[in-house]
A and B are shown apart, each in its own frame.
Chain A
Amino acid sequence: DVKVTQSSRYLVKRTGEKVFLECVQDMDHENMFWYRQDPGLGLRLIYFSYDVKMKEKGDIPEGYSVSREKKERFSLILESASTNQTSMYLCASSLMGGWQPQHFGDGTRLSIL
């Protein structure tokens, strides 16, 4: 079974802090994704990566950056956290090519005070 692990289930940070969310997958997947889930808005793609050191912006990249130094790890960075970034953050991974289902971690509930 694919295992996608997010480092924290719950996180509380203060406005202006730099926040790191970590995600690790154990299935050698090429693609990795970061989403945020908000009520009434579904899952919105923040950034994705299709290879080490490669990244592309998703639909809502503003205020975020990412890092992928190793194939199994994909980090989401909130450069200067703001209250409107309070949300559920979900990481996913998938194989490349054709279509492949994305496999999700259990999410990080991030609160910015």
Chain B
Amino acid sequence: DQQVKQNSPSLSVQEGRISILNCDYTNSMFDYFLWYKKYPAEGPTFLISISSIKDKNEDGRFTVFLNKSAKHLSLHIVPSQPGDSAVYFCAASVGGATNKLIFGTGTLLAVQP
């Protein structure tokens, strides 16, 4: 049972436009949500997170929105740059000291120059 779902395997966007990556979850007990970015042949790197008590968190060009009633979060990248081309994973924290994360399947973002 996939508790964290990224239904779009890929997304293509023009440079300078907005990229919107989506993620749905099923477990209402998740207390934090995180986005990771992964380039080929590298490990994932942490990008941005949001607590379940908030609905928005912003860091530069990256904004994450959380809609708890819909169990949906999204990552907005504005403006998109070619260097943003990567696989993006959303992850949800089950809480507690062990920081165990449940990852989605990832979305490959391609930003076209």
The answer to whether A101 touches B43, judged by C-beta atoms less than 8 angstroms apart, is: no
**A-facing residues in B77-113 (Cβ within 8 Å):** 89, 91, 93, 95, 97-101, 103-106
**Would you call A34 an interface residue if the criterion is a C-beta within 8 Å of the partner chain's C-beta atoms?**
no
Taken together as a complex, chains A and B put the C-alpha atoms of A56 and B97 apart, in Å, by 13
Taken together as a complex, chains A and B put the C-alpha atoms of A59 and B4 apart, in Å, by 14
- How many residues of chain B get a CB closer than 8 Å to chain A's CBs? 27
Q: Which residue of B lies closest to A56 (CB)?
A: B98
**Would you call B27 an interface residue if the criterion is a C-beta within 8 Å of the partner chain's C-beta atoms?**
no
The answer to whether A40 touches B9, judged by C-beta atoms less than 8 angstroms apart, is: yes
Q: Which residue of B lies closest to A104 (CB)?
A: B43
Taken together as a complex, chains A and B put the C-alpha atoms of A56 and B99 apart, in Å, by 12
The answer to whether B105 touches A31, judged by C-beta atoms less than 8 angstroms apart, is: no
The answer to whether B97 touches A42, judged by C-beta atoms less than 8 angstroms apart, is: no
The answer to whether B31 touches A43, judged by C-beta atoms less than 8 angstroms apart, is: no
- How many residues of chain A get a CB closer than 8 Å to chain B's CBs? 31
> What's the count of A-B pairs with C-beta under 8 Å?
66
- Shortest A4–chain B CB gap in Å is 7
The answer to whether B43 touches A106, judged by C-beta atoms less than 8 angstroms apart, is: yes
Query: A92 contacts which chain B residues (CB < 8 A)?
Result: 43
Please list the residues of chain B having a beta carbon within 8 angstroms of any beta carbon in chain A: 6, 9, 31-32, 34, 36, 41-46, 49, 51, 89, 91, 93, 95, 97-101, 103-106
Q: Can you list 30 contacts pairing A with B, beta carbon distance less than 8 Å?
A: A4-B43, A9-B41, A30-B97, A31-B97, A31-B99, A33-B100, A35-B103, A40-B9, A42-B104, A43-B44, A43-B89, A43-B91, A45-B100, A48-B100, A50-B98, A90-B43, A92-B43, A94-B99, A95-B99, A96-B97, A96-B99, A97-B97, A99-B34, A99-B93, A101-B34, A102-B99, A104-B43, A104-B45, A105-B43, A107-B42
